Amino acid sequence: MKYYIKIIILVIFLGGLLTISGCGCKQANPHQYDLSLEIWGTLDEGDALNGIFENYRKIDANISKITYKKIATDTYKKELIDALASGQGPDIFLLNNTWLPSFKDKIVAAPTTQGVLNEQKFRSNFVDVAANDFINDGKIYAVPLSVNSLGLYYNKDLFNQAGITTPPVDWNQFIDDVRKLTKIDATGEIRQSGAAIGTTYNINRSTDVLNLIMLQRETNMVNDQGRANFNSSIILGNQTAFPGEDALNFYTQFASSSSPNYTWNPNQHYSIDAFAEGHVAMMFNYSWHIATVTNKAPKLNFAVAPVPQFADTPKVNFANYWAFGVAKNKIAEKGSTQSTKPPASNDERVAEAWKFLTYLTTKPDGTFVATSSGIGLGKTLSADFDPAKSYLEKTGEPAARRDIIEIQKNDPTIGVFATDNLIDKSWSESDPSSIEAIFAEMIDQVNKGQSTVSDALKTASTRVQSLSN
């Protein structure tokens, strides 16, 4: 009997060794630590993410909780910077596509580990502008769910009354329509505006519209050394051209009372309000303001078309969107009193955060593999569940992913924005808030006749360059 007992003990002992070494029939327990991931953002997307969070917790045993915290847009950036500096900020946070130059030292690129996003996968999944904004020196710093580009909002009733059957496709048609739609009385007052364009402070996202035109004119916003370059010249054939100057002149002509295309001035109502009131026939804006206009004027008969293009240059739109980045450092959480697992290290936290973002944003390949401390955890997901697709269906936002754009492109509400994401561009801004203020002052100086277009552009270029000196 003692002999059989010894045999049984030996078998149990050897079986335990094989399991611990990973050579047995079962893998070691993948639950290595308890980690909570906190995500910060400014958008109302908590409800759209909660189901995704719960699903992911079933896949990765190391994640005990994922939460989303919405912060007011006006205070978001300051609260975020303060929290990151103290080491008490979020694990993951949304950053604007213009923020990478100023946030690069606050976030950590995706690690080169199994189950995490790599450059090839990023470029095959997402639109080009996302790669240009968030891949630097071969490293991925943030990843988007949605990308937003400008659209041309137009009042269908005002178009019908003017005998205009379709929205303008190019800028020449746009000018023709502006002239037909603008009504100026005998005293010189604008009674109906063809388009909200030309000024700064009473137009929502006015500087974005100027950026759109500058990029469409192929303005080189910064040179290879990252220096402001938008007042420079280029050679076209045998002629010297100043595309930045041409763009600023084109934009501001619509607010010049001496121009045949005069249609707007600083006395007009704020562009979104004027459009909702039916006092302006066209305005430029992003998809999120469809709801704004509808709430202000439920009976307004309007639609959105692609932004006009110049006939002699490639099609371009301007991008403004948010992407998820992972905070570089965070003070480790103390383990739960109910858990025997140690807290995750910072490197483990970073790896887990990036694994989640890979799951959240990229196209499912049938199997998601989460790895923890070198121990594999593989679970086959439902082929029908796509986290990004689920999120976008709930929020109605235009996709960052190419395969979802193919689905969205015929959508009557966001199809215009989704399709134009394929031609979106942006540029590297050292200090986006300051640059926006500089561009706004540049437009205003031209509007008021305080500076010529050429001088205003040169001054703005010098000021923008000083931000990165």
**Is the pLDDT reported for residue 174 higher than 90?**
yes
- Concatenating the DSSP letter of every residue in 428-447 gives --SSHHHHHHHHHHHHHHHH
**CA gap 294, 277 in Å, rounded:** 11
**CA gap 377, 396 in Å, rounded:** 33
pLDDT in tens, 60-99: 999 999 999 999 999 999 999 999 999 889 999 999 999 9
Please indicate, yes or no, whether residues 48 and 60 belong to a single structural domain of this protein.
yes
**CA gap 312, 281 in Å, rounded:** 26
Please indicate, yes or no, whether residues 274 and 171 belong to a single structural domain of this protein.
yes
CATH of the domain at 71: 3.40.190.10
Q: What single letter denotes the amino acid at residue 381? A: L
Q: What is the mean pLDDT of the chain?
A: 89
Please indicate, yes or no, whether residues 459 and 387 belong to a single structural domain of this protein.
no
What are 396's two structure tokens? 């109605």
Measured between alpha carbons, how far apart are the two ends of the chain, in Å? 85
The mean per-residue pLDDT over the stretch 163-179 comes to: 98
pLDDT band of residue 365 (cuts 50, 70, 90) is: confident
Whether the Cβ atoms of residue 289 and residue 298 lie closer than 8 Å to each other: no
- Using DSSP's 3-state secondary structure scheme, residue 456 falls into helix
**Is the pLDDT reported for residue 117 higher than 70?**
yes
Please indicate, yes or no, whether residues 99 and 197 belong to a single structural domain of this protein.
no
Residue 21 inside a domain? The answer is: no
pLDDT value of position 355: 94
Residue 428 burial (10 A CB sphere; 0-12, 13-18, 19+)? middle
Q: How many domains, the chain?
A: 2
Residue 408 inside a domain? The answer is: no
Please indicate, yes or no, whether residues 98 and 169 belong to a single structural domain of this protein.
no
Last residue of a domain, one of 378, 395, 412: 395
Residue 425 inside a domain? The answer is: no
**CA gap 265, 290 in Å, rounded:** 24
Q: Give me the torsion for CA of 284, 289, 293, 298, rounded to 10°.
A: 130
Q: Residue 305: which of 147, 393, 401, 174 has the closest Cα?
A: 174
Q: Which domain holds residue 58?
A: 28-147+321-395
Phi/psi of residue 277, nearest 5 degrees: -80, -10
Is the backbone of residue 22 left (phi > 0), alpha (psi -120 to 50) or beta?
left
Please indicate, yes or no, whether residues 75 and 140 belong to a single structural domain of this protein.
yes
Please indicate, yes or no, whether residues 38 and 133 belong to a single structural domain of this protein.
yes
What are 447's two structure tokens? 């509007």
- Using DSSP's 3-state secondary structure scheme, residue 323 falls into strand
> How would you classify the pairing of strands 63-70 and 35-41?
parallel
318: enclosing H helix or E strand: strand 317-318
Residue 412 inside a domain? The answer is: no
Please indicate, yes or no, whether residues 273 and 228 belong to a single structural domain of this protein.
yes
Residue 3 inside a domain? The answer is: no
pLDDT band of residue 24 (cuts 50, 70, 90) is: very low
Sign of the Cα pseudo-torsion (259, 265, 266, 272, in order): negative
pLDDT value of position 340: 65
The mean per-residue pLDDT over the stretch 34-38 comes to: 93
The mean per-residue pLDDT over the stretch 166-191 comes to: 97
Residue 137 inside a domain? The answer is: yes
**Is the pLDDT reported for residue 248 higher than 70?**
yes
Q: How many residues does the chain have?
A: 469
Residue 186 inside a domain? The answer is: yes
pLDDT in tens, 445-461: 999 999 999 999 999 99
pLDDT in tens, 189-210: 999 999 999 999 999 999 999 9
pLDDT in tens, 133-146: 999 999 999 999 99
Q: At what angle do helices 432-447 and 206-216 cross, to 10 degrees?
A: 90
pLDDT value of position 452: 97
User: What is the pTM assigned to this prediction?
Assistant: 0.88
Please indicate, yes or no, whether residues 458 and 375 belong to a single structural domain of this protein.
no
pLDDT value of position 232: 87
The arrangement of strands across the sheet holding 151-155 comes to: 282-285, 151-155, 302-306
Please indicate, yes or no, whether residues 287 and 163 belong to a single structural domain of this protein.
yes
**CA gap 268, 257 in Å, rounded:** 14
Residue 421 inside a domain? The answer is: no
**CA gap 112, 122 in Å, rounded:** 13
